[in-house]
Amino acid sequence: MPARERILFISNRLVNPYAGTESQLLQLIKHLPRGQFEPRLLVLQRSEFSDSGAISCQVDVLGHSSLLDPRTWVSFWRYARNAAAEGYSLAHIYFHDASIFGPPLLRTVGIRSIISRRDMGYWYNRTYLRILQVTGKFTDKVVVNSQAVGEVTSRKERIPADKIKVIYNGYESSEKPTMTATGDILAIKENGLGPIMFLVANYRPLKRIEDAVRAVNLVVKNGGSAQLVIIGSGNWEPLRQLAKELGLAQRVHFLGGRDDVKECLKHGFIGLLCSESEGYSNSVVEYMQASLPIIVTDVGGNREAVLQGETGYRYPIGDVGALADHILGLLRDPELAKQLGAAGKELADQRHDLQRMIGAHVNLYYSLVGASAAAPVSGER
């Protein structure tokens, strides 16, 4: 029996296993076929989660992460040298700091590298880009989660198009949540204040969640009845205050971060996303899986994720009036909402199957280590 290929995964610090990028990395590690691959994870800085034993492979901690600290570069090179001696010939790097020093240092010890890009580069600045345009020459492939992210990465970081590989996010259909949605969600659903609109996102200014709150205000003023349920981590006090000022305290609900999102979404009517930048949103896929019609901003990967008029609607960033109009249209035509949701569910099932995502990575890894899969892998075409 041929030896298993050893794959080294590299990330900066894993804190929230339910966040978009972290969850995709952990799913990949968990489901990578152990008969073919032996994964190992290096985190630059430890966290409570990385120390928890919940990650399904060996976890090592570098202990340094600052790009300006020489110890980061020296410690990483020493680690890479030891990994190469142990038979690791390929590394897959998540998050941007490690993707700066990782590829050139890995190349010096004979380890090929893949870097991941999963957003539209909102973190780019002139210094970062100048460095990335140099260190990117040492990477072998770049995995992106949408065509839009691939185009931005190629243009900004000057990565040749033939190095870009689009692999859409994959999701497990049988996840078992540890919390139940039956209590708080059903209480909201049955309070008589209208259907539930979900917005799943952690609090960050670029998510523009206040636009959704203001849209609810316009919907109510124009005779509609709906509620907004926000799921995500962060300081929600400013938005609580906004909802109170608009007289929406009973219609806008903040449930915090939780791991039963899919169970919650089963009780929804519409899925919303108001971001000014999106690579390819996990929330949008979860909405589709729950058969919700979707209303999102017309940016980045949203243009691939939401088919205009077929699975939902896109609207210009910050146009709260357009957002409210789309909401009102769906509230007044439940049959249309149902049709859009069903089309989104079909698209999600085809595009975002977990085994399809795993198979795409398996085939990519084999293409770089010089082996070939014995048979077609996990539905990848």
Is 381 domain-assigned? no
Residues 197 and 331 in one domain: yes
Q: 151 and 69 in one domain? A: yes
Q: Note whether 35 and 85 are same-domain residues.
A: yes
The confidence score (pLDDT) of residue 80 equals 97
Specify the pLDDT at position 17.
Answer: 78
- Tell me the pLDDT of the chain (381 aa) as tens digits: 357 899 999 999 888 777 778 889 999 999 999 999 999 999 999 999 989 999 999 999 999 989 889 999 999 999 999 999 999 999 999 988 899 999 999 999 999 999 999 888 888 899 989 999 999 999 999 999 999 999 999 999 999 999 999 999 998 765 555 566 668 899 999 999 999 999 999 999 999 999 999 999 999 999 999 999 999 999 999 999 999 999 999 999 999 988 889 899 999 999 999 999 888 888 999 999 999 999 999 998 899 999 999 999 999 999 999 999 999 999 999 999 999 999 999 999 989 999 999 999 999 999 999 754 333 344 443
Q: What is the pLDDT of residue 310?
A: 96
pLDDT at 139: 96
Q: What pTM was computed for the model?
A: 0.78
Please tell me the predicted confidence (pLDDT) of residue 377: 41
**Domain range for 260:** 184-351
Residue 300 domain-assigned?
A: yes
Query: How would you label 153-169 residue by residue, b for 16+ Cβ within 10 Å and e otherwise?
Result: bbebbebeeebbbbbbb
Q: What is the DSSP string of 175-218?
A: ---SS-STTHHHHHHTSSS--EEEEE----GGG-HHHHHHHHHH
Neighbouring C-beta atoms of residue 352, cutoff 10 Å: 22
Residue 95: predicted pLDDT = 87
Same domain for 264 and 155: no
User: What is the DSSP secondary structure assignment for residue 40, as one 8-state letter?
Assistant: E
Answer whether residue 379 is part of any domain: no
For position 374, what pLDDT does the model report? Answer: 36
In sequence order, which ranges of 190-319 are alpha helices (DSSP H)? 209-221, 237-245, 261-265, 282-289, 302-305
Q: Do residues 110 and 195 both lie within one domain?
A: no
CATH code of 309's domain: 3.40.50.2000
The single residue listed with the structure tokens 């070939």 is 372
Strands 196-200 and 90-93: unpaired
Cα–Cα distances in angstroms (integers) from residue 124 to residues 119, 120, 279, in the given order: 11, 9, 14
Question: Are the beta carbons of 109 and 80 closer than 8 angstroms?
Answer: yes
Q: Are 227 and 261 found together in one domain?
A: yes
The pLDDT assigned to 379 comes to 40
175 in any annotated domain: no
